[in-house]
Amino acid sequence: MSAAGAGRGDDALIVGAGFAGLYMLHRLRQVGIRARVLEAGDGIGGVWFWNRYPGARCDIESTQYSYQFSPDLEQEWCWSERYASQAEILSYANHVADRFDLRRDIVLQTRIAQARFDERTQTWQLRSQDGRQFSARFIIMATGCLSVPTWPEIAGLSSFSGEVHHTGTWPREGVNFAGKRVAVIGTGSSAIQSIPVIAREARHLTVFQRTPAYSVPARNIKLPPSVLAGIKAIYRQLRARAKQMPTGVLFDSSTAKALETPPALREREYERRWRRGGLTFLSAYCDILTDRDANKTASDFVRAKIRSIVKDAAVAERLSPKTPIGAKRLCVDLGYYETFNRENVTLVDVSSAPIERITATGIIAQGTLHEVDIIVLATGFDAMTGALLRIDIEGRNGVTLRRRWHDGPRTYLGLAVHEFPNLFTITGPGSPSVLTNMLPSIEQHVEWIADCLAALRDSRIGSIEATAEAQNAWMAHVAEEASKTLRASENSWYVGANVPGKPRIFMPYAGGIPKYTQTCDEVAARGYEGFVLEPAATATGFLEEEPA
């Protein structure tokens, strides 16, 4: 057995070294629980390690998309732009790993393939793809919500003789587009960020669009030192206020209703937000995501913007979404619509007839062969459940997670699963996660889990398992909250519509961070209500014995 495998006693194993796994390790150390992180990649950073495509950056402002657990870290780190690039976020993750001395407990190049709960020892037994074994009483899945790329099922893809790259697994050395004919398949966030950059480098870019997406300008800027200093001076207050927002982002959120606002005033407000840039556009009115007529006022505004930017009226029409704005994740761009005014960019609409096939030299759509040298798949992810289900997870009595989630994910609080004791998910399905700023959502989960494990240790509890009743009640509540938002009725990765055969269920919790956090805190305060706790069988109770 390799030195990186068994051979030390871990109380907990954390799968994934993205922002969730890094902070989980730090927090467990703080409460005196021995843990290690097992990471598939040869570096840390999770999605920010893998998504190196041109133009990749966060669409939440850098000063908000960052850890808040350490006021010192918050003061030391200087974000250079309003929206941080992938490279800057990755260097921040690496800085955090060094600053908190995390690397000595991170095992890289370790893709976990199997996790099995051993009833006899009440431990989880993990096996990596290359056969190494790990064992601990608890496992914490920090595997990410958007970390399993989906490759489209297009005939002939493997016969293409040029380069094919997925935005979610971009080569570390980059891709040289100079002088090349490039195809981008997909028009979601990843495509919308990469298309303007690729278009500037490539000889020709052909974009294959199945469904147009709404995008608002980012208005990214270099952060002036005075602005950053102003934020840092009141960082704690800003963070506290952000936690009161359903999304965990300190947006300029209005409580006014779009339909109760005079049209001229409403247009001015949309224009103000369009000029300001960013996702705050959707916070102009409180009914945009719940009322179709209200939503139409916002989507009409953006469609008019598209018509005003894109010079070719037919192209503008093809780029204009017909669905409610925000039902799919709103995109934020740096010159996306403007890119279609370039001579070297072609938009191919594959909404009525899918791409027919890919040949050695290009892509056939509507009977026309588009010859290209490089294909970029910006085709998205098997969201929320993909990373958990690709591991063969077996709980009590040989029950597998794949079997239990055959009709869609079922969790208690998005944190735990009935029949899978001592397993926790960070930002799992049924938690606010992807509808929010991921960083504060991750921190809330990590802190809850660490407090829970410390409490179990202190009271010599060996196992914790969500009850079926608590899980059923939580899933009913998740569905009830989902029914209030337009997001649940449209096709998107939120409901699994982008993966053929995936059961349709609105996976995240739409009730917002404050309500969710309060529920989690109450569950803990009531002695982990909705969980069954069982005393530890061994004398030491919680900690694994060091192997002889």
Q: Which stretch binds ligand N01 (CB under 6 A): 124-132, 232-240, 372-380, 520-528?
A: 372-380
| SS3 label, residue 411 | coil
Residues 170 and 52: beta-carbon distance below 8 Å: yes
Strands of 64-195 (E only): list them: 106-107, 112-118, 123-128, 133-141, 163-166, 181-185
Phi-psi region of 391 (alpha: psi -120 to 50; beta: other; left: phi over 0): beta
Q: Which residues contact 105 (CB under 8 A, 6 or more apart)?
A: 25, 29, 35, 36, 37
Shortest Cβ 81–ligand N01 spacing (Å): 13
Q: Which is nearer to ligand N01, 8 or 504 (CB)?
A: 504
Which of 141, 191, 245, 284 is in the footprint of ligand N01 by CB under 6 A? Answer: 191
Give me the 140-169 binding string for ligand N01, x by CB under 6 A, dash otherwise: ------x-----x-x------------x--
Shortest Cβ 60–ligand N01 spacing (Å): 7
Residue with tokens 């041109």: 54
Q: Count how many Cα atoms sit within 13 Å of the Cα of residue 207 in the half-sphere of its side chain.
A: 32
Q: Which is nearer to ligand N01, 89 or 523 (CB)?
A: 89
How many C-beta neighbours within 10 Å does residue 29 have? 16
Shortest Cβ 536–ligand N01 spacing (Å): 40
Task: State the chain's maximal CA–CA distance in angstroms.
Answer: 76
Residues touching ligand N01: how many (CB under 6 A)?
27
Q: Which is nearer to ligand N01, 5 or 54 (CB)?
A: 54
Q: Within positions 377 to 436, which residues make up the interface with ligand N01, using CB under 6 A?
A: 378-381
Shortest Cβ 59–ligand N01 spacing (Å): 4
Distance CA 189, CA 184 (A): 12
Q: Which stretch binds ligand N01 (CB under 6 A): 243-251, 341-349, 376-384, 457-465?
A: 376-384
Q: Which is nearer to ligand N01, 5 or 188 (CB)?
A: 188
Q: Within positions 465 to 494, which residues make up the interface with ligand N01, using CB under 6 A?
A: 493
Shortest Cβ 334–ligand N01 spacing (Å): 11
Residue 372 binds to ligand N01 (criterion: CB under 6 A): no
Distance CA 108, CA 298 (A): 45
Distance CA 237, CA 216 (A): 28
- Residue whose Cβ sits closest to ligand N01: 188
Residues of this chain that interact with ligand N01 (CB under 6 A) are 58-59, 146, 152, 154, 167, 185-191, 193, 208, 210-211, 329, 350, 354-355, 378-381, 493, 498
